Every structure is written in structure tokens, then in C-alpha cells.
Amino acid sequence: MIKKFTGVAATAAMLIALTGCAGGGGSGAQGGEGGSEDIVVGFAQVGAESGWRTANTTDIKRAFEEAGIELKFSDAQQKQENQIKAIRSYIQQQVDVIAFSPVVESGWDTVLKEAKDAGIPVVLTDRAVDSEDESLYVSFLGSDFVLEGERAGEWVNTEFADADQVNIVELQGTTGAAPANDRAEGFRNVVTDPKFEVVASQTGDFTRAGGKQVMEAFLKSNPDIDLVYAHNDDMGLGAIEAIEAAGLVPGEDIKIVTVDAVKDGMQALVDGKINFIVECSPLLGDQLVEIVQKVVAGEDVEKRIVTEETTFTQEQAAEALPNRQY
Ligand code: GZL
């Protein structure tokens, strides 16, 4: 369906040539020479639930500022209805492109069709939607969350190679969110030996407070926990607080593996309270700007752009932390 948007954007490109003003499907930008300064983008962010999200927001705002592109920004406080309201508002304002990180995978087809009918291309960043109709967005830029879960699982297999029985508790991300679904799936793809048992799994909603609260409950109901698999650093950091309050030593009595690699998580890894972190990069700003510029210029964009990321042991974190951007 890129062709459709390319068609619209190509028409827009022709109009820009004729009238000198940019505007994908909408007429958000008036006048100007059709450069970046004429583009108006609406971004509907999930919220500010974690260090990762804060870093993601900061990087997106930086990139659009540097590119001279007007960015209308909204924080949905992790509520889907707020993101839908924001997207509808951007449609009303006839922005040139809409970008957003879907807080959950489902329930987007109606509003995305409204954007499509308004001729406004949509870019997914960070998280995916489960829409069958891939014409509803021009590109999805973000991590491979299944791979992240598999990388966490591979470390677990190695770390506990000599163990006979490993009791695991899982702090899941936001219920219904692509990173929560996929990190759970990826982990289970590789942690298959029957000696591993996920004795408890519950959402901590990607927040530090949520991780702490759920871990407190896990500790009360499970006497012998060997490992915490937290879908993000913030929930892992909350779990550390609960483990220490219970008089246990995180990273030793109970090992912890998390995903993200934000500064606070990396510091806990250096301090030995977390044992391994799978990176999930929030630095999507420059790539998003490039996608927006291509779409408005009528150029094809890749349907799926996977961000590059790695993993960190304690030693690797000690080396990387001083230069960490987030
Ligand atoms: C992953 C992102 C997740 C992070 C969490 O790309 O959607 O949401 O892993 C954040 O820290 O809250």
C-alpha cells in the first residue's frame, strides 16, 4: 500500500513543485519552499512510564528540532483512548504525517482508517499493531522484541546450565503491548528445558512501582525464587527494592535479567544487582525524521525497519556506562 501513499505523496510532491508548499495528505503546512520547515508531524506518545520512554521522547524531540520540522506532541499516560483522541486531533489539524507508539497491539483499525481516508500517512514507532490491513501504516520502526526475549533466554540457559531446578518469576510489561507479548514469547522459545519453571508471571506495567509491588507479592507466595525475568529495567529496579526489603541479595540470592539498558539499569548491572541486560534502543528520532522526509517527498520507505541493539554483561556495562546517551 506504500504505492497508495506514494501516490498521494507523489501528488503532494507535484503540488509542492507547483505551489511550493508541503503537505502529505493534509494541509498542515502553509507556504514555504516545501522543505523540512514546511512539514508538520503529529506524534502520539505512550506516556512517561519508564526511563526508556523518557529517553525515547527526548530523542524524538531533539531530532525534529534539529531537522526544523514542527512536531505536535501528546502524552497518553499509557491510555489507548488518549492516543486515539490525539490521532483524531492530528487528523483534524491536517498534519502531514502522524507517528505514534501504540500502547497496546489491538484496537487501532478504525482510527488508522480515518487517517488513511484523510490521506495522512502513519508511521509506527517502537511498538506494533496487530492490524491485518498493512495499508494502514507506511512503516514500522522499532526493535525485534521476540529476539530480545530470546537473547534473555539464551543467557538464562548458559547461566543456569549446571542447575537441576530453576524457579523463575516474570515481571511482564503492559498487558497487550507488543513488547510484553513478544518478550514473553521469545523467552519461552529458548528456555525449554523442563528444569526451568515459570512459577509466577504478572504485569508490572513497565513501571518501577509496578515491578516492586508485584515482586513483593511473588516473594510472599514463592519461597524459592532463583531468577527474575523483567521485561524492562524499571520493573527490574523495582524488584531489587522488594528483594532487598525481604533481606535477600539481588544478583546473588535471586538473579535478575532485564531488557532496555537505560542508565539506571546499567548502573545496577555494574553494581551486581542485575546480572544481564538485553538492549532495546529508544534512540529512534533520526530514523523517524528520515522516514517522514521521504514520505512527504513521495519516496518509498521500508515497511519494517528494525533497530540495531546488543546485550550487556557486568563487564560490558562498566565499559559502556560512561558514554551512555540514555
Ligand atoms: C520497548 C518499549 C518499552 C520499553 C519499556 O520498545 O515499548 O516500553 O522496554 C517502555 O521500558 O516502557
Task: Please state, for a pLDDT cut of 70, what percent of the chain lies above it.
Answer: 89
Give the sign of the dihedral formed by CA 223, CA 228, CA 232, CA 238. positive
Q: How many angstroms does the Cα of residue 41 sit away from the middle of ligand 1?
A: 22
Report how far residue 293's alpha carbon sits from residue 279's, in angstroms, rounded to the nearest whole number.
28
Is any ligand 1 atom within 6 A of the Cβ of residue 196? no
Ligand 1 centre to CA of 3 (Å) is 31
Rounded average pLDDT over 265-277: 98
Ligand 1 pocket member 50 (CB < 6 A): yes
**In the predicted model, what is the mean pLDDT of residues 65-70?**
98
Q: Which atom of ligand 1 is nearest to the CA of 142?
A: 6
Tell me the H-state helices in 119-232: 145-159, 178-190, 208-221
CB distance 257 to 227 below 8 Å: yes
Q: Is 238 in the pocket of ligand 1 (CB under 6 A)?
A: no
Nearest residue to 234 (alpha-carbon basis) of 271, 205, 275: 205
Distance CA 301, CA 13 (A): 15
Distance 232 CA to ligand 1 centre (A): 7
Residue of 232, 287, 288 best suited for mutating to test ligand 1, as the one with most atoms within 8 Å of CB: 232
Distance 53 CA to ligand 1 centre (A): 6
For residue 102, CA distances in Å to 28, 106, 179, 250, 317 come to 23, 9, 11, 33, 30
Specify the ligand 1 atom closest to the Cα of 231: 9
pLDDT digits (tens, 9 = 90+) for 141-164: 999 999 999 999 999 999 999 999
What spacing in Å lies between the alpha carbon of 7 and ligand 1's midpoint? 34
Q: Would the CB of 43 count as within 6 Å of ligand 1?
A: no
- CA 291 to mean position of chain CA atoms: 17
pLDDT at 113 over 80: yes
Q: What's the pLDDT score for residue 325? A: 84
**Ligand 1 atom at minimum distance from 126 CA:** 6
> Do strands 311-312 and 276-279 pair parallel, antiparallel, or not at all (unpaired)?
antiparallel
Q: Report residue 272 as a C-alpha cell.
A: 551486581
237 Cα: distance to centroid of ligand 1 (angstroms) = 14
Mean pLDDT of 104-127: 98
| Ligand 1 probe mutation, 46, 50, 235, 305, most atoms within 8 A of CB | 50
Q: Which pLDDT does position 224 carry in this prediction?
A: 96
To the nearest whole percent, how much of the chain has pLDDT over 90? 87
Q: Is the CB of 52 under 6 A from ligand 1?
A: yes
Residue having the nearest C-alpha atom to atom 11 of ligand 1:
52
The answer, yes or no, to whether residue 27 has pLDDT greater than 70, is no
Residue nearest to atom 9 of ligand 1 (CA): 232
Mean pLDDT score across all residues of the chain: 91
Which helix or strand (DSSP H or E) is residue 15 part of?
helix 2-19
Q: Cα 205 from chain centroid?
A: 13
The neighbour count for residue 46, using CB atoms within 10 Å, is 27
What's the one-letter identity of residue 323? N
C-alpha 173/C-alpha 53 separation (Å) is 13
Query: H helices within 30-144, ranges in order?
Result: 51-67, 80-92, 109-117
Length of the chain: 326
Question: Is 53 close to ligand 1, i.e. is its CB under 6 Å away?
Answer: yes
Q: How many angstroms separate the alpha carbon of residue 83 from the centre of ligand 1?
A: 16
Question: Residues 12-26: what's their mean pLDDT?
Answer: 41
The CA-based dihedral angle spanning residues 28, 284, 76, 205, taken in that order and rounded to the nearest 10 degrees: 170
Q: Are 90 and 100 in contact (CB under 8 A)?
A: no
Are 152 and 229 in contact by the 8 Å Cβ rule? The answer is yes
pLDDT at 89: 98
Helices and strands (DSSP H and E) totals, the chain: 11, 12
C-alpha cell, 284: 529512534
Tens of pLDDT along 166-222? 999 999 999 999 999 999 999 999 999 999 999 999 999 999 999 999 999 999 999
Answer whether residue 13 shows pLDDT above 60.
Answer: no
Kindly write down the DSSP assignment for every residue of 288-319, as one continuous string: HHHHHHHHHTT----SEEEPP--EE-HHHHHH
- The residue with cell 539498558 is 261
pLDDT at 66: 98
Grid cell for residue 283: 534512540
